[in-house]
Structure 1
Amino acid sequence: MTEQPLEITAPALIERLRQLHERTRETPLFNPVFQLSIDLSRQLESGEIAIADLAKLIDELEAQSLDTRAQHLRHMLEPESAQARLADAISAPQDFDAFRDFWQQPHMHVVFTAHPTFLLSPDQSEAVVRAASEGAPVPTRNLGDRPAVTLRYEHDRAMAAIENAQDARDRIVGAVLEQAHERWPDRAAELELVPFRFASWVGYDMDGRTDIKWYTSIAFRLAEKVRRLQRYIDSLEAIDPDHAQLEPLRAGLAHAQRSEADFASDLSDAADLSAAANRLTCDDPDKLLSLAPIIDAIERDAADSSEHALALRTLAAAMRADGLGMGRVHFRVNAKQLHNAIRQRLGDAGDIDLGSRGALTALRELLAEAEPMSANFASLAIESSSAVRQFLVMTQILKHVDADAAIRMLIAECEQPATVLAALYFARLFGIEDKVDVSPLFETETALEHGGRFLDALLAEDEYRAYAKRRGRVAIQTGFSDAGRFVGQVPASLAIERLQGRLAEAMAANHLTGLAACIFNTHGESMGRGAHPSSFADRIEWPLSPWSQRRFARAGIRLEPEASFQGGDGYLPFGSPELALATLTQVLAHTPARTDADVPTDPFYRRTDLSLDFYRAVKDHQHAHLESRTYARAITAFGLGLLNETGSRKSRRQSDLSADRDMSLRQIRAIPHNAILQQLGYPVHVIAGIGSAAQNNIEDIAALMTESARGRQIMRLVRASNALASIKTAAAYGELFNSAYWASRPYRGTEQALGPACEALAEYLIADDRNGVFRRLASRLRVDALKLHRLFELVPDEDPHPERESVRRTIGVLQAVRLTLLQHMFLKVVSVPAFSRANDISRRDVFEMVFTLRIDEALAQLRRAFPTSFPQKDDFSIDEAGDYPRGRGEGYEAIRRDYIDPIEQAHALNLRISTAIANEFGAHG
């Protein structure tokens, strides 16, 4: 026990942790984080401090973590330099044709997705945005409760971020138009500016979920139409309150509002659906399906270079980019859903292997014979196939909501060209082939390994090439979440860039160089999901490397880069119009449109004898972890109980019915998996294997990493992750399950009051495997880390951050406080008096619920076993006399107060610690 009670403040505990770290010089196995947790636990259990004291400490640490997040966002975006970046982009010396080409192509399609990363409350997000914009600190207080993260909440947040992005784009477009009129007054009217497009899949992504009804997607699209039309009207009224085009816009808004109200309700009843559908689909002069005539009229009124005319042309550019919605929409289905749907169309060949040549032949015939069929809302209502239903929804949107804006169809787990042809068949069947971009997702191990052959085969198909030429682009999607989990984040990035290079080759080989290559890189904000944390230049280049960019430039193929900004984490760069402008101007500063095709090849791609071996060795190391029962057991030791609910999509796959002890990592979705690694203190999927891969040729690998721009980028990522990581912390979690620790804790007469509880824990945990699992994992990580640090010594640190040591200490204190709270919960649950089994749940089952942090379930069982309110005799009006029982029942208030409520309070603080740790890492997962 410490000689003096610890002062429960962040500075005092950070200093205490620093002192404890000094002891590792004497005793290498000493664990400072766990020791600090023991010191705090002794004070908590003795009554020297209370849960309320820890809550105040967490207030302080949480505010610090939000400030860390804000300062990192400010470092990445450099909002104070946004106007200068915009001025540089606009004033770059070039002739009019080059100027027009630069500004009439999207430098990025920004996609606002809704993966489960809505970590912060609205108040916390606002505080981070304000601090990042102004450089001011976040206030030291608990900033609001987190609301339930429903699909509608996600959609509202996505739309708010898009509004800020639209405002920022308007500022860019206005400045470009002003410059063009100054430099080329006779030709400026030729410009049709689309420097950015915005899109979302919130409400349209059906991969891995069954809770979105088809009419939900229609309702969201109508709500977006209403929101965008109102913004167009507000803008035009501000420019010219008497403009003639206000009348059709207002009439279109009123019509859209009526349809929005119709589709916002439950339409499972046939009569309700029929009424809503008939009102939407009937001929109505007020129904607005295209903005083309309005855009033409507005641009005719903007013939000069006056401020009024420039404002009108800026509005017309927004209309051209967004259409009758807040942006474009991305539907997403799983390849299996498409396979099930297409088999029903193949007749006798329905059981064919869709990866075979025979399947391709059958699909070619099916495509050639496809005749467009009309469909209505009744078609939608009775359709049982999820994939076909998505095509029918797209058909109705294009027919009755927005006829102009193309729609993306993303296909998850797409590993066969036949899957894309199946999607083309349904697009042709419903007459929307010319308005839908089918985009296969490459993310699984198999897809990344065989993706090059997939693209060669797909682009060799006559039907696909004809379709791509009609659309003007070849679209693919590469994902970093599952890829980073399955093969490691560094190998995933290298595999993805090779796939992108193969796309350039396949397009050139199949005479498609006149088309654009639209590459959607779905990644998240943290270093664990594909967004490089060092700089915005690294963020742009990590998923679409300069090597990949040059492959397309040399082939004469125009790139349309697309990137996701995922959930509440990803919306922070668009949290205000000012931050959105900073983000978009950073994109302009690092756009692939400026790729120099003549730059000499990076040594990383010339020395493939080294780089390929390095890639394979890291991938094999990561794969060994993924397949290891030790690793899986450690990652799932607490189930998903370390994480807040951060999205409307379930964190476990919906088919998961297995017990926690046997949980497979493939049953947990990628983002929660990555988030758990951060919470346990070590991002294995980023760091592990880098040192081991270099060990046999360390000097040559170090020289390559030093000479190569890509190699230095890899090392910046690994260093940033390692700077926040702690193997000691991961090991400390295993000590919670160490029977010997609990048996020894009250040894020699200390903490005698805890004797029975510690004895119960020691006895219960004798056969538990988790202590050994964490020790084995920590040993593996330590051996690899020793090799990594040898590599670090040979490669210069290009991005030193001396403040990271203080961040590590802050994370260490957060982890120690959490370990204290977990010990408190463990001691409380084993001290609960015995109760009878009910619903096949025993007292030992409740222990395990707490040990795996299934706290809500455990509390429900304990409250059932120990009620504090129940019927009284006075509740009844009974004529017959009855003396029994005398007095009133007292219930179990003391048990609630002393055992059950403290568990609930401790877990609530645990989840706040989860938020703070995620902030220090830069994202949830």
Structure 2
Amino acid sequence: MKTVGELLDRLQELRERTNETPLFNPVFQLSLDLSRLLESGERSLDDFESWIAELECDALQSRAAHLRRLVQPVLPEDNRAGFSAMLDKEPGDFAAFRQRWEQPQLHAVFTAHPTFLLTPQESEAVATNAAQGGKIDESACPVPGKRPDITLDYEHGRAMRAITHAAAARDQLVGLLLEKAQKQWPDQWHDFAPLPFRFASWVGYDMDGRTDIKWFDSIGFRLAEKAERLAHYVTTLEELDTDHPLLRELRPATDCAQERAQDFAADLSDPAALSVAANRLTATDPRKLLSLSGTIDRLDAEARDCDDPARAVKLKTLAAAMRADGLGMGWIHFRVNAKQLHNAIRRRLDDGHGSELNLASKGALARLRKAVEDVRPLQTNFAALAIESSTAIRQFIAIAQILRHVDADAPIRMLIAECEEPATVLAALYFAKLFGVEGKVDVSPLFETETALEHGGRFLDALLAEPVYQEYARNRGHVAIQTGFSDAGRFVGQIPASLAIERLQGRLADAMKENNLNDTAALIFDTHGESMGRGAHPDSFEDRLAWPLSTWSRRRFMRAGIRLEPEVSFQGGDGYMFFANPELALATLTRIAEIRPAETDTDLPPDPFYRRTDLSLDFYRAIRDHQHGHLESRTYSRAVTAFGLGMLNSTGSRVSRRQSDLSADREMSLRQIRAIPHNAILQQLGYPVNVIAGIGSAADGKFEEMAQLLRDSERGRQLIRLARAANALASVKTVAAYGELFNSAYWASRPYRGTESHLSEPCQALSEYLVKDDRMGVFRRLASRLRVDALKLHRLLELIPVESSLADREPIRRAIGVLQAVRFALFQHMFIRVVSIPVFSRANDISREDVLEMVFTLRVDDALAQLRRAFPTEFPRIDDFDLTETTEYPDGGDAGYDTIRRDYIDPIDRAYALSRRITTAIANEFGAHG
């Protein structure tokens, strides 16, 4: 086998042998074929690298094709023409037109979840190919560049780049909306203030689960965003009129913001440095701009008096951008954990028993209710911010400083993770009032944990019944909540999570109606990611938007007379791909505008999925229980953590393990690994368990009845489209193959009868070492459980017609199979090499056995560091010394450890690096990381 084509053909040939021997594993057999070629010298790591490069290219092309398919058409002229044609079909009522387009169809939040898998060059190449109308070719495969360090600054820069493209695309659509209004309602169009989309980011403001972001980092980011957005406004106005009067205000304001951003880009831990920066920011400066309301009024007035229709549209387009974004690239989201708020509020309510205050009690709720009513606002400054030790309080003081000294108009979201008690929200309201920002802060509880989803309905009933919350919501104009699909999809499974969140959204509509909050909007932030394992439906963009906020949910709000403001996240390097260039950004926003996720047809016939609750609820509970069984299973936990996080590339500035982790890899808990790396490991193991496991078992005993319900239901068919997409890339055989790496009998038998006599010693060593290892049994048991469930899933799917817009996935599945086989061969190469290294003495409490285990758990970098220390190739030589006395030793018999480095250490290093490239390729075939 010399080419990738031959590898693909060989895999197909091996798969056909499963008809004769069901237990035969074609993926592992192909890996053995490749391993024998590598260990015999017939093929080298150079050949492996060549195969991987070709498969990498195929995967990047596949990703570009999938991205284009989701948002096509991609050519700007097609999208502008399509959007205008859609507007021409709108009803001729100006009031209805304004009502539709003066409220966001979608809030897009650019978050920095650790999904920066591709290099900037790869992202650019994929996006460029996806955005063009021609054939996707090898230009989607740039020469591999050095992976950048994924720092917070890097993430923030990529987020701002994506928002810049999004804002430019929105301007084009706003211009078309204004042209439509100008043409159809020439006497009224000046009253039109379009706002089809809003953008936001939490990059640099999300404090949940991390301590590496300092408060002055957040202030610095906000100032930098202000300077960048003002620069965009200046550029837009200069294109219209290089001597426009407003430039005399906006240019100095831009310079001022840039200077202050530079001040806060420094380390302000020292009080003296902070004092200088803070005094400059808070000082009176004629260049300082804190509100755009006057600027917007002047632009609107100029447009009204303008005789040039095209210029008038451009003036109002700029005013619309300012109205949407304010003095920043968009709105910002701070995020804290409920525990941080609990600790902070106990300090304020402490009457000698504060540490014993139970926030779940009615007594605590009553005390908080009165505290919110009675609190007196306090003035703060940057010194108060600097000395504050509580993360939650520090965030509120930072918000106060931003509103006072950066942007007085743009509201700020306060997201509360793991929020399970109404008292937590009242605690946030207390601090908002304490620091005088309650009129500009939107407190938003996050429902993502098992407990939060299970009890979320009662939580909302209790919270919305609180008079202080009702007053606050009416003042803000909406009730804001956040639902999460990452942790929810990990702990209860992606499909049960989606259905649980859907029910929670329905309960919100009911609670708002029951508490007479119909006059406020429902702002629902669904933080799903881009992969099917994080809540993104891969079949179509319409499914992608409807999966987290279904037609049924939207209908509940519309029938209650509640305006809906949907909000979704575009997460990290994956999500930013939709806005990686101006063409894709325009295509993405055009598709969203066409789909109109804030609306739905209330006259559609009811979906039987919600009427036949005797079936659908049992189906949901059975899948949830099945998923929960995996999560609590020692087998599943051990399999997922068998390689630690060593199979994954670093993809973000946020650590992949929770920061309190001290446990060894063997005892690593699934709850210690964050959701995205957990899902990424499932991709790499070959089976997206949290997406498809349990569906087949849930239908067991009622296949015909369940299939009929899913066929007749819009939501049911959507569920099946997700399951088919995941199942098309899944391989139980691959899961089982990972166990064979640790099969003592395999290694003992491999050189049997002299087939590979040159490997007798390392294979014997591996066999002896692995005889007590548990991983073979773990993967075999997991594969058996998955197989039983998969057989039932296949039986269910056979009863439901295929209904998917996805292209044939079999070529992708075969490519993934070959990638896995190549990786298995590389792992075997590493195992053989590491046991062949000569025994070395224990140093610094690290033994040879420790190094072996490091390699087996893919802590390869650690292992290599120990090996290089045990076998140095750089050390003092006799010629380095200038001595008068002669010596005859060394006599040339000691050549050092160069041979060990060349034959063992360097091949392990290279094989591991190649295996990490396979990780990226597999993720690209799935369409996202994690």
Query: Normalised by the size of structure 1, how large is the TM-score?
Result: 0.98
Q: Give the alignment of 1:761-840 within 5 angstroms.
A: 761-799=766-804, 801=806, 803-840=808-845
C-alpha deviation, 1:878, in angstroms: 5.8
Q: What is the aligned partner in structure 1 of residue 607 from structure 2?
A: 602
Residue 151 of structure 2 is matched in structure 1 by: 150
- 1:187–1:861: structure 2 CA closer, same or farther, 3 Å change rule? same
Which string of whole-angstrom CA distances, capped at 9 and with x for unpartnered residues, describes residues 718-756 of structure 1? 000000000001111110000000000000001111111
Residue number in structure 2 paired with 1:103: 101
Superposition deviation, residue 596 in structure 1: 1.5
Q: Is the 8 A contact 1:131 1:138 kept in 2?
A: no
2:125/2:142 contact within 8 Å kept: no
Aligned 8 A contact 2:539 2:806 in 1:
no
> In the TM superposition, what are the counterparts of 1:172-183 in structure 2 within 5 Å?
172-183=173-184
Residues 538-553 of structure 1: pairs in structure 2 closer than 5 A? 538-553=543-558
Query: Using the alignment, how far apart are the partners of 2:829 and 2:575 within structure 1?
Result: 35
Q: Is the CA contact 1:479–1:523 (under 8 Å) kept in the aligned structure 2?
A: yes
Of the three residues 69, 72, 80, the one matched with 1:83 is 80
Matched residue, 1:119: 117
Does the Cα contact within 8 Å between 1:849 and 1:855 map onto a contact in 2? yes
- 2: distance between equivalents of 1:801 and 1:554? 33
Residue 370 of structure 1 contacts residue 425 of structure 1 at CA under 8 Å; is this kept in 2?
A: yes
Q: Given that residues 59 and 141 in structure 1 are in contact (C-alpha distance below 8 angstroms), is that contact kept between their aligned partners in structure 2?
A: no
Query: How many Å separate the matches in 1 of 2:806 and 2:393?
Result: 52
- In structure 2, how many angstroms separate the alpha carbons of the residues matched to 1:83 and 1:382? 52
- For the residue of structure 1 that corresponds to 2:570, the secondary structure is strand
| 1:289 to 2:287 alignment | no
Cα pair 1:872 1:888 within 8 Å, conserved: no
Distance (whole Å) between structure 1 residues aligned to residue 880 and residue 395 of structure 2? 55
Within-5 A mapping of 1:229-244: 229-244=230-245
User: What is the letter of the counterpart of residue 263 of structure 1?
Assistant: F
Which residue identity lines up with residue 771 of structure 2 in the other structure?
Answer: I
Q: Could you tell me which residue of structure 1 aligns to residue 529 of structure 2?
A: 524
CA deviation vs aligned residue, 1:800-833 (integer Å, no higher than 9, x gap): 6562111111000000000010000010111111
Matched, 1:369 2:367: no
Distance 1:51 1:318 in 2: 54
In the TM superposition, what is the alpha-carbon distance from 1:301 to its structure 2 partner? 1.3
Q: Which amino acid aligns with 1:344?
A: R
Q: CA deviation at 1:40?
A: 0.4
The equivalent residue for 2:651 is 646
Deviation of residue 83 (structure 1)? Answer: 2.8
Q: Which moved more, 1:866-875 or 1:107-116?
A: 866-875
Work out the number of aligned pairs and report it.
Answer: 919
Q: Are 1:34 and 2:16 an aligned pair?
A: no
Would you say 1:328 and 2:337 are equivalent positions?
no
Residue from 342, 365, 383 that aligns with 1:339: 342
Partner amino acid, structure 2, of 1:287? K
The 2-side partners of 1:467 and 1:599 are apart by 35
Matches within 5 A, 1:220-259: 220-259=221-260
Q: Does 1:514 align with 2:508?
A: no
343-352 or 427-436: which moved more?
Answer: 343-352
Superposition pairs for residues 440-589 of structure 1, below 5 Å? 440-589=445-594
- CA-to-partner distance for each residue in 1:763-818, whole Å, 9 max, x for gaps? 00000000000000000000001111110111111116562111111000000000
- Counterpart amino acid of 1:59? A
One-letter code aligned to 2:338: A
Q: How does 1:866-881 map to 2 (within 5 A)?
A: 866-876=871-881
State the 1:917 CA deviation.
0.3
Greater shift in the superposed pair: 876-885 or 513-522: 876-885
Q: 2:9 aligns with which of 15, 22, 25?
A: 15
Q: In the alignment, what sits opposite 1:49?
A: 43
1:848 positional shift: 0.6
Question: Secondary structure in 1 aligned to 2:33?
Answer: helix
Q: Which residue of 2 aligns with 1:718?
A: 723
Could you give the per-residue CA deviations for residues 93-137 of structure 1, whole angstroms, max 9, x where no partner exists? 230001111110011110000011001100110111011111422
Partners of 1:729 and 1:815 within 8 A in 2: yes
Q: 1:257-288: per-residue Cα shift (whole Å, max 9, x none)?
A: 11111111111111100000000001111111
How far the C-alpha of 1:599 sits from its partner, in A, is 1.8
Q: Distance in 2 between matches of 1:104 and 1:667?
A: 44
Moved more, 52-61 or 345-354: 345-354
- The offset of 1:342, in angstroms, is 0.6
Identify if the C-alpha distance between structure 1 residues 388 and 878 changes in structure 2 by more than 3 Å, giving closer, same or farther: farther
* Structure 2 letter corresponding to 1:41: S
State the match for 1:853 in structure 2: 858
1:328-386 deviation per Cα after TM superposition (whole angstroms, max 9, x unaligned):
10000011111111111111341121111111011112112211101101001100001
Asked if structure 2 preserves the Cα contact closer than 8 Å seen for 1:102 and 1:593, the reply is no
How far does residue 834 in structure 1 lie from its aligned partner after superposition? Answer: 0.7
Q: Unpaired runs of 5+ in structure 1?
A: 1-5
Identity %: 67
Name 1:891's counterpart in structure 2: 896
Alignment partners' CA distance in 1, 2:384 and 2:807: 62
Matched position secondary structure for 1:696: coil
* Aligned mates of 1:433, 1:63 — CA distance in 2: 52
Counterpart Cα distance in 1 of 2:894 and 2:392: 59
CA distance in 2, matches of 1:292, 1:522: 31
Structure 1 residue 592 displacement after superposition: 3.2
- The whole-number CA distance in structure 1 between the counterparts of 2:786 and 2:683 is 14
> Secondary structure at 1:649's aligned position in 2?
coil
Contact in 1 for aligned 2:342/2:424 (Cα 8 Å): yes
Distance (whole Å) between structure 2 residues aligned to residue 876 and residue 701 of structure 1: 83
> Cα–Cα, structure 1 residues 339 and 892, in superposed 2: closer, same or farther, change >3 Å?
same
- 1:728-747 residue pairs with structure 2 within 5 A? 728-747=733-752
Residue in 2 that maps onto 1:169:
170
Structure 2 CA distance, aligned partners of 1:295 and 1:89? 28
| SS in structure 1 of the partner of residue 700 of structure 2 | helix
Quote the residue 2:19 is aligned against.
25
Does the CA-based 8 Å contact 1:23-1:30 persist in structure 2?
yes
Contact 1:89–1:588, Cα closer than 8 Å, also in 2: no
The CA deviation string for residues 637-666 of structure 1, in whole angstroms up to 9 with x for no partner, is 111111110000000111111111111100
Shift, 1:883, TM fit: 6.2
Q: Which residue of 2 aligns with 1:193?
A: 194
- In 1, the alpha carbon distance for the partners of 2:469 and 2:138 equals 53
Post-superposition offset of 1:594? 3.3
Out of 483-492 and 588-597, give the one that drifted further. Answer: 588-597
Say whether the 8 Å CA contact 2:439–2:475 is kept in structure 1.
Answer: yes
Q: Aligned partners of 1:194, 1:799: CA distance in 2, in Å?
A: 33
Cα distance in 1 for residues equivalent to 2:369 and 2:525: 27
- Cα distance in 1 for partners of 2:374, 2:170 equals 44
Could you tell me whether the CA contact under 8 Å between 2:334 and 2:395 is conserved in 1?
yes
* 1:917 paired residue among 922, 927, 930: 922
**Which has the higher mean CA deviation after the structures are superposed, 366-375 or 407-416?**
366-375
Corresponding residue for 1:264?
265
The one-letter code sitting in structure 2 at the alignment partner of 1:49 is R
Amino acid of the residue matched to residue 246 of structure 1?
L
C-alpha displacement of 1:402:
0.7
Are the equivalent residues in 2 in contact too, given 1:533–1:539 (CA < 8 A)? yes
Deviates more, 1:34-43 or 1:301-310: 301-310
Map 1:387-426 onto structure 2 (within 5 A).
Answer: 387-426=392-431
The code of the aligned residue for 2:391 comes to S
Partner of residue 315, structure 1: 318
Structure 1 outlier segments of 4+, above 6 Å: 879-883
RMSD across aligned C-alpha pairs, in angstroms? 1.3
Matched, 1:62 2:56: yes
Q: Give the whole-Å Cα distance in 2 for the aligned partners of 1:677 and 1:786.
A: 19
Instruction: Compute the TM-score of the two structures, normalised by the length of structure 2.
Output: 0.98
Secondary structure at 1:501 match in 2: helix
Mapped pair 1:633 → 2:638:
yes
SS of equivalent residue, structure 1 residue 652:
coil
